[in-house]
Amino acid sequence: MAKDRSIYLDDYTCEMQPCDPTLEGYAALLAAGGNEDWPNVAIPKDGQTFTGSALVWKPDIIATRLGGKWSLSRNPDDNDFVAVRFGEGLGWYPDHIIYQEMGLVDGEYTQTETMAEALLRWFEENDPCCDDTEFVAVAESQNGLTFQYRSDPPRLEEVTKQ
C-alpha cells in the first residue's frame, strides 16, 4: 500500500471503497454530497461525527511454496488484519481475508489457532490456485474510532486517537 494508514467510516464502508481511504478523501466525498460511485451522500452539518476504524499497514508477508510446503517470511500478529493479495502491491478478494478458527475451549468460545497457522492453512487449502510466491497484506486494526466533519474549510478530523 502506498499509504501507511487507511480509514474506513462505518456509514460508507462495503466491498467498494467510495473514495481515497484518508481524512482528505472522506472530507471531499462528504463535502461534495457524493461522487459517481456513491451518489446522494448527505452533506453533513458542521461538527457531525462518524464512527469508523483504520488499518495501519505493515510490510507485506511473502509466502513461498518450496517442495510442496509453504513458509512465511515472518508470522503475523494474532490480532492483525491479514489478506492474500492478487499480486504484489495489489488488493484482494473478500474471501482471501484470513480468519482464525474458533471453537469452544473450557466452555469459552475462543481462537483455536494462531494467525500464522490460519494463513498457512489457507495456502494449503488453496494450494492448486496459488503461485509459488504469494504476497500477503498485513495491518494492525484500530477499531472504535470517531471522526468529526468540519465545513469551513471542509475537512474530517479524528476525535479519538489510538
* Same domain, residue pair 63 and 128: yes
* Same domain, residue pair 35 and 48: yes
pLDDT tens digits, residue range 82-126? Answer: 999 999 999 999 899 999 887 877 888 777 899 999 999 999 999
Q: How far apart are CA 57 and CA 92, in angstroms?
A: 14
Position of cell 508477508?
61
CA distances from 85 to 15, 45, 46, 72, 125 (A): 15, 38, 38, 14, 16
Tally of structural domains, the chain: 2
* Same domain, residue pair 124 and 147: no
Our CA angle for 45, 148, 150, nearest 5°, is 50
* Same domain, residue pair 65 and 129: yes
pLDDT of residue 25: 94
Given a cut of 80, is residue 14 above it in pLDDT? no
Confidence of residue 162 (pLDDT cuts 50, 70, 90): low
Beta strands in 20-123 (DSSP E): 49-66, 69-72, 80-84, 102-105, 108-111
pLDDT of residue 105: 79
Name which residue leads in pLDDT, 80 or 17. 80
Model confidence, pTM: 0.81
* Same domain, residue pair 146 and 135: no
The three grid cell numbers given for residue 65, joined into one nine-digit string: 511454496
* Same domain, residue pair 118 and 134: yes
Q: How far apart are CA 60 and CA 62, in angstroms?
A: 6
* Same domain, residue pair 34 and 88: no
Q: State which residues form the domain around 39.
A: 5-54+142-158
Mean pLDDT of the chain: 91
